[in-house]
Structure 1
Amino acid sequence: MTRGPEGAVVPPPAVPAGRGAVSSVIRESLAYSARENMVSFAGGLPAPELFDADGIRASYDRVLSRAAGRVLQYSTTDGDPDLRTALAERLTGRGLPAEPGSLLVTSGAQQALWLLAGTLLEPGDVVIVENPTYLAALQCFQHAGAKVVAAPTDRHGIVVEALDDLVTRHQPKLLYLVPNFQNPTGHTLPVGRRQELARLAATRGFWIVEDDPYGELSFHRSAPDWIRMDPVAADRVLLVGSLSKVIAPGLRLGWLLAPEPVRDLCVRAKQALDLHTSAVDQAAVADYLANNDLDAHLKRVRAEYLRRCTSLLAGLPDALPAGSTWNVPEGGMFVWARLPAGHDAVALLPHTVEQGVVYVPGAPFFATDADPRTMRLSFTTHEPDVITEGLARMARAFDQIQQPEVNE
Structure 2
Amino acid sequence: MQFAERLNNVETSAIRELFKLLGKPGIISFAGGFPDSALFDVDGIRAASERALTEEPGAALQYGATEGYQPLREQLAGFMAGKGVTDVAPSDFLVTTGSQQALDLLGKTMLGPGDKVIVEGPTFLATIQCFRLYGAEVISAPVDDQGVNTEALEKLIAEHKPKMVYLIPTFGNPSGATLTLARRKKVLELAVKYQTLVVEDDPYGDLYFGEAPPPSLLALSAQVPGSRAWLAHCGSLSKVLSPGLRIGWLVAPEALRERAVMCKQFSDANTSTFAQATAAQYLKAGHMPATLAQVRKVYAERAQAMGDALRKELGDAITFVAPQGGLFLWVKLTGARGQLQDANVFAQRAIAKGVAFVPGTPFFAQNPDNATLRLSFATADVAKIQEGVARLGQALAA
Please indicate the TM-score interval, normalised by the length of the shorter structure. over 0.9
CA distance in 2, matches of 1:47, 1:40: 12
Match of 1:388 in 2: 386
CA displacement 1:194-223 (0-9 Å, x = unmatched):
111111110111000000000000111112
Match of 1:162 in 2: 152
- Name the % identity: 42
Match of 2:248 in 1: 254
**Aligned 1:165-184 pairs, distance under 5 A:** 165-184=155-174
CA distance in 1, matches of 2:262, 2:248: 17
From 302, 307, 312, the equivalent of 1:308 is 302
Give the match's secondary structure for 2:5: coil
Is 1:176–1:211's contact at 8 Å kept on the other side of the alignment?
yes
CA displacement 1:65-102 (0-9 Å, x = unmatched):
33322211111101010000000011112111210000
Q: CA RMSD in A?
A: 1.4
1:182–1:22: structure 2 CA closer, same or farther, 3 Å change rule? farther
Is 1:134–1:183's contact at 8 Å kept on the other side of the alignment?
yes
**Aligned 1:16-35 pairs, distance under 5 A:** 16-21=5-10, 25-35=14-24
Shift of 1:260: 1.1
Match of 1:79 in 2: 68
Shift of 1:32: 2.6
CA distance in 1, matches of 2:322, 2:217: 23
Q: Give the letter aligned to residue 116 of structure 1.
A: L
Shift of 1:148: 0.9
From 122, 126, 130, the equivalent of 1:136 is 126
CA distance in 2, matches of 1:178, 1:299: 22
Q: Does 1:192 align with 2:182?
A: yes
Mean CA deviation greater in 45-54 or 25-34: 25-34
From 304, 327, 333, the equivalent of 2:327 is 333
Give the match's secondary structure for 1:95: coil
Match of 1:295 in 2: 289
Q: Does 1:210 align with 2:200?
A: yes
Is 1:32–1:38's contact at 8 Å kept on the other side of the alignment?
no
Is 2:163–2:196's contact at 8 Å kept on the other side of the alignment?
yes
- The unaligned stretches of length 5 or more in structure 2 are none
CA distance in 2, matches of 1:34, 1:226: 39
Is 2:13–2:125's contact at 8 Å kept on the other side of the alignment?
no
Shift of 1:24: 5.3
CA distance in 1, matches of 2:7, 2:309: 38
CA distance in 1, matches of 2:89, 2:14: 42
CA distance in 1, matches of 2:51, 2:23: 35
CA displacement 1:220-241 (0-9 Å, x = unmatched):
1112111222232122110000
Shift of 1:105: 0.3
Is 1:33–1:42's contact at 8 Å kept on the other side of the alignment?
no
CA distance in 2, matches of 1:28, 1:112: 24
**Aligned 1:44-59 pairs, distance under 5 A:** 44-59=33-48
Shift of 1:23: 6.8
CA distance in 2, matches of 1:345, 1:196: 34
Q: Give the letter aligned to residue 296 of structure 2.
A: R
Match of 1:121 in 2: 111
Mean CA deviation greater in 14-23 or 239-248: 14-23
**Aligned 1:101-112 pairs, distance under 5 A:** 101-112=91-102
Q: Does 1:230 align with 2:230?
A: no
Shift of 1:346: 0.9
CA distance in 2, matches of 1:193, 1:158: 8
Match of 2:259 in 1: 265
Q: Give the letter aligned to residue 393 of structure 1.
A: R
Q: Give the letter aligned to residue 325 of structure 2.
A: G
Mean CA deviation greater in 28-37 or 232-241: 28-37
TM-score after normalising by structure 2: 0.95
Give the match's secondary structure for 2:81: helix
Shift of 1:321: 6.0
Larger radius of gyration: 1
Match of 1:367 in 2: 365
Give the match's secondary structure for 1:322: helix
In the alignment of these two chains, the number of paired residues is: 389
Shift of 1:18: 3.0
CA distance in 2, matches of 1:24, 1:157: 24
CA distance in 2, matches of 1:286, 1:199: 35
Give the match's secondary structure for 1:197: helix
Is 2:15–2:32's contact at 8 Å kept on the other side of the alignment?
no
TM-score after normalising by structure 1: 0.93
CA distance in 1, matches of 2:68, 2:244: 18
Shift of 1:324: 1.2
